[in-house]
Structure 1
């Protein structure tokens, strides 16, 4: 296959590269930045897509961030590819502070109390919710009794506060990234257009200079033709 990797990665390598990509996060950031700046679209639509992707990083829909970012970009007339790139604002280095901020904000807005135990037991509540889904799926085909306690606890203590609390910081981060990226993209695209225009002008001037030389020295051109014909 054309797009198949030559070196197959093991599950351990895939997981390790998700936490720390090959070449480091700095190189991955510059790669994403380079790809975004070269998108063939208007700076406004690209910046809106980046804002949508950054906002999506503050939502609890892990595993579906690409889908959510694409839908949001579509709704606000943003560039979908830029939105997908913007979701990389959420990564293993930022998920913890994003999660803490979203949970604190959500509990504050809902009038509930945020405790440190909520963050320390976050993975346990995730595991409990996943365990409930698995066990209740088996209960549909066996004699097991469905138990939704872990999933309900996860929804009320983690998912719903995270969902509500991520709106405000997500909007702030998305708007800030929009206004930061817009002038940068405009400047980059203008410089790129200027370089392309200068290159075409150089080619045009070179062609005109060759045409002028052939007009001002027609005898030399004829002599060159006669020489070529004599060689034949």
Structure 2
């Protein structure tokens, strides 16, 4: 096949590059930044898309961030591709601080706190919820009894506080990204148009000079 990789990656390499991409996160960030700036749209629409993507990373819908960013971008008339690229703000280097900020803000707004010893640890609650979800799906097709306790604890102590607490920091981070993006994208587009115009002018002058030489030769 024409589009297959020549160097087939192992499963370990694929998983490793999800956590730390080839060339590092700095290079990956520059690549995404370059692609976003070259999008054929107005700076404001692109920046609104970035807002949607950055805001989405503060929501607890892991695995669905592309879908959430797409829907939000459609609602605020932002650029869809910019929104999907904006979700790059959430990565293995930022998910931990984003999660801590969102959860602590959620506990503050709800007047609660995370009691690790009450039920299970933070990661234990994730594990319990995942196990309940798997077991309950299996129970639909067998004679097993569904158990929602792990999911109930996860919803009340993790998911809902995260959802509520991520709203404010998500809006703040998205708005900062918006106002930083607009002038940068506008300046880039002006420079790009100027370069294209200069290139066409050079081609035009070259063609005119060749035409003048041909006329003189005749």
Query: How far does residue 117 in structure 1 lie from its aligned partner after superposition?
Result: 6.5
In the alignment, which residue of structure 2 is the partner of 1:175?
175
So what's the TM-score if we normalise by structure 1?
A: 0.89
Contact 1:108 1:114 in 2 (8 A): no
Alignment of 1:20 with 2:10, yes or no, is no
Equivalent runs, 1:125-144 vs 2, <5 Å: 125-144=125-144
So what's the TM-score if we normalise by structure 2?
A: 0.94
In the alignment, which residue of structure 1 is the partner of 2:47?
47
Contact 2:69 2:87 in 1 (8 A): yes
Distance across 2 between alignment mates of 1:76 and 1:188: 23
Distance across 2 between alignment mates of 1:6 and 1:86: 30
Helix, strand or coil at the partner of 2:61: coil
Alignment of 1:74 with 2:74, yes or no, is yes
Distance across 2 between alignment mates of 1:121 and 1:92: 20
Equivalent runs, 1:142-181 vs 2, <5 Å: 142-181=142-181
Query: How far does residue 207 in structure 1 lie from its aligned partner after superposition?
Result: 1.1
Contact 1:128 1:150 in 2 (8 A): yes
Larger radius of gyration: 1
Helix, strand or coil at the partner of 1:13: helix
In the alignment, which residue of structure 2 is the partner of 1:124?
124
Distance across 1 between alignment mates of 2:217 and 2:209: 12
Distance across 2 between alignment mates of 1:140 and 1:217: 88
Instruction: Output one character per residue of 1:27-84: Cα deviation in whole Å (capped at 9) or x when no partner.
Output: 1001101111111111111111011000000000000000100111111111100000
Alignment of 1:63 with 2:29, yes or no, is no
Contact 2:49 2:73 in 1 (8 A): yes
Q: Give aligned pairs, total.
A: 217
Q: Unpaired segments of 5 or more residues in structure 1?
A: 219-232
The 3 A distance-change label for structure 1 pair 144 and 217 is closer
Helix, strand or coil at the partner of 1:105: helix
What's the C-alpha RMSD, in Å, of the aligned pairs? 1.7
Instruction: Output one character per residue of 1:166-217: Cα deviation in whole Å (capped at 9) or x when no partner.
Output: 0000000001000001100000011000000000001111111122222234
Q: Unpaired segments of 5 or more residues in structure 2?
A: none
